[in-house]
Structure 1
């Protein structure tokens, strides 16, 4: 689950379909949409279920996404993408932010500080005739702290896992995503990127033949 969540965070920087780069967390509305989409994986790392509400709602365990929360999540994403760029060495990092990466020790420190905002403990559940699962329980804390701590914990777990060795920056033209290689022959983050790369190579070969 950590892989799903941390890749989803990194992939909020993406190709916009027109040759540029889009940021799904560019505004508070984008953050709110992303949080709703990631509610299930966030549940595992935020110690308790999270609900992020509209301004018209009011519950004790909710938070309204605002600009400060957006900046906090974007800062975590910056640290994650910095460490992804380190993980894919000697391969190239994503083109989106290769020139704006943090110093690696700063990125590590940022994740550790965020994860430490909420001390938690693992709790094992193993019902009859079911697969054992682990959930995280921690001190009482507001949803904002649990969100940033949960995202940081997911990133740390992924970066310390064997899956890190299969992390690549997609080499397709214009793509800026990172992905985990699922099988030995996989070259692209998704089939459409492979199609685009093949079209680009075909065009380049024909252009070279004409020159």
Structure 2
């Protein structure tokens, strides 16, 4: 969800892309400590890495659109979505770039945990593969059924519905939607 949310509205009807520049991509990655932990080593964010991350995001947003269908997808990229079969192939290829082996960690005091041991030396490949694996886990998991596109005016986000009646990603979107509906009703009622 964090990666998909790097496309967001600017508050004025436009769309912002947190990954729009190499510097923006680096700032976003620095705010993802769990993701950076998978890419230990000398990780340098450059145009090639930014493009690879954006490629995974494009694939995930296309697959999110498939999940929410027949409801409309996010308006941010509905007009330029990657075909679902291409998105699936791209996501699987990105996840397969890193050979990993499951590892069991079991401290003397505490429960066992699972992790992955990577055979990949390049931290950039590990990072992109981790993003893709996270998306595979989400799309194949139970939260997928609660995925929705927010259709409040100017919003372009996807969100996981936390209760049965939730229609918007956050309260401010609900407020915007209610104000827009009220405006339309009063405008339709006023014939002048």
Using the size of structure 1 for normalisation, the TM-score is: 0.86
Q: Which residue of 2 aligns with 1:8?
A: 2
1:42 positional shift: 5.0
The number of equivalent residue pairs is 191
- Alignment counterpart, residue 104 of structure 1, candidates 81, 84, 95: 84
Q: Which residue of 2 aligns with 1:172?
A: 152
Per-residue deviation, residues 99-152 of structure 1 (Å, max 9, x unmatched): 111111111111111111111122222335534432211104211000111111
Q: Which residue of 1 aligns with 2:131?
A: 151
Q: Which residue of 1 aligns with 2:115?
A: 135
CA distance in 2, matches of 1:82, 1:171: 17
1:183 positional shift: 1.1
Per-residue deviation, residues 3-41 of structure 1 (Å, max 9, x unmatched): xxxx11011110011111001000011101110111224
| Gapped regions of structure 1 (runs ≥ 5) | 1-6, 52-60
CA RMSD of aligned residues (A): 1.4
What SS does structure 1 have at the residue aligned with 2:187?
A: helix
Change (3 A) 1:189 1:129: farther
What SS does structure 1 have at the residue aligned with 2:79?
A: coil
- Alignment counterpart, residue 22 of structure 1, candidates 16, 21, 29: 16
| Gapped regions of structure 2 (runs ≥ 5) | none
Using the size of structure 2 for normalisation, the TM-score is: 0.94
- Alignment counterpart, residue 31 of structure 1, candidates 11, 25, 34: 25
1:91 aligns with 2:71: yes
Q: Which residue of 2 aligns with 1:208?
A: 188
Q: Which residue of 1 aligns with 2:142?
A: 162
